[in-house]
Every structure is written in C-alpha cells, then in structure tokens.
Homo-oligomer: A and B are copies of this chain.
C-alpha cells in the first residue's frame, strides 16, 4: 500500500458519474476513474472485471487511492468462471451469495470487501455535497394539499422499500396514481400522464412525485436521482411538484433542472423527515 489520499470514482451508467467528476474537477481533485466492464459511461475509462476484483483493488492502492465512491447504475454482471484470479476466487462464495440476494445486498458486500482492503467507501453527498440538496424549497413551494399528498407518498415509498420495491410514487388528492417499478421514474410519470383524467376532482390537487432511498439503504450507493428529464416528465404528468427525502436524493444539472421546474410551474422540495 502506498498510503495516498486520492479518490477513485467507480463510474456506472447514467448522468451521475459525469456530475461527480465535474464536481471533483471544480474542487481541484483528479480522481482515478474506473468502471465495471460493460458499464462504462463513456470511452477511455479503465475497466475492471468482478472476477479480478482483488488485483483491481491492489492497483487502486498502488495508485495512491484511499477512498472509493460509486457513481451510477450497474446491473448484475455475468461472471466467467475462467477469469477469476486465485485471490479473487477466494471471495467467490461471498460474491455469489450477495448477487443472489439482490442488488442491495450485492452492493453491501462489495462495500465491505473494499473497506476490508483499506479502501474507504464514501457517498455522493461526501464527495460532491452540492449534488445532494439539504432540506428546503428549491423552486416554488407545496400548498397544504400538496403537503398532504407528499405525506401519503412518504408512507407508500417507505412501505414499498420494505418490500424491496422502487424508490418513488405519485400521489394526487390522497390517491396513489403510480408506484415506481423496474421501468423507472420516467416510465412511471408517462403512465400518470396517460391516465391524468382519473384524478377524482379535475380542479383539485394535481399531485406530487416523491422519491426517497429505501429505508435502511446504505446512503453511499444508488441514491435516487432527479434531473431535467424527471421535471419534464412530471410536467407532462400534470403534477404540482416533486418532493424528495432531503439528503437522500441526487439533483442532477441543478441549474437546468431548477430552470425547467420554474418554466413548467413545478415546485422542487427537498423535504425533511
């Protein structure tokens, strides 16, 4: 080990990795960037395979890395038994049982392995605090009905988390219009847009999208994200605004996202517990 103080960004797909890299660059940091093979967000990024995790961790230490952050989506990789090196092979039982227990469990095991190797795993909020808004009204603000709808959505998302389901729901006039599942937030909002007319009172509260991490989720991985596309899809769905658990969601492209919300007449509310 070289005892450095560099950060490594494990980049996944989506907009989070570029946002984290931009924030680090703003802070004058030059992180090591790597991606699981098949999930690199762009060209020119060092790739590693899970079957060679131990040599990869050693190479990070050799480069002076002492902290690792995960940025972006990774799906379960397929494993090729022939590619395991002997040291990583000793971790196979843990890796396999983790992968079989679902994405959250798999990431928890990965975090534990990194930390055992002396690589501290830190979250987006630690690396790039501006990406994870604290409590407050960023654009506009909810009225009393919107607050009621948000409260009901909080309850639903909490309950869904216990079922290991998604991290989002849409509630209008106290009624749950949609729940986030595998196809994701924008698919859910398109569904709401297609069924707008079902709100019992056409002139009543327009509804709230609420997003939050799962209860008990490790905040160092896979936070729900909100961005310009989310705002535009929420406008098409006719919602009053977007709320999320303060400190538990990533706000991407903040300037553009806030501008889109203002233009679409949506509130953006980082809601405290």
- List chain A positions with a Cβ less than 8 A from chain B: 75-76, 155-156, 159-160, 162-163, 165-166, 175-179, 181-183, 187, 191, 194-195, 198, 200
Contact = CB atoms under 8 A, between A and B. Distances in A.
Nearest to A197: B183
Nearest to A199: B182
Contact of A195 (B76, B178, B182, B200): B182
Closest 3 CB pairs of A and B: A183-B195, A159-B163, A179-B179
Nearest to A178: B181
Given A160-B163, A187-B191, 13 more contacts: A75-B200, A76-B200, A156-B163, A159-B159, A159-B160, A159-B163, A175-B182, A176-B181, A176-B182, A177-B181, A177-B182, A182-B198, A183-B191
A82 to B, nearest CB: 22
A197 to B, nearest CB: 10
Contacts of A177: 181-183
A244 to B, nearest CB: 19
Contact of A181 (B166, B179, B182): B179
15 contacts: A156-B165, A159-B159, A160-B163, A165-B179, A176-B182, A177-B181, A177-B182, A177-B183, A178-B181, A179-B179, A179-B181, A182-B198, A183-B195, A183-B198, A191-B191
Nearest to A166: B176
A176 B165 contact: yes
A220 to B, nearest CB: 24
Q: Which of A162, A176, A187, A198 has the most CB of B within 10 A?
A: A176
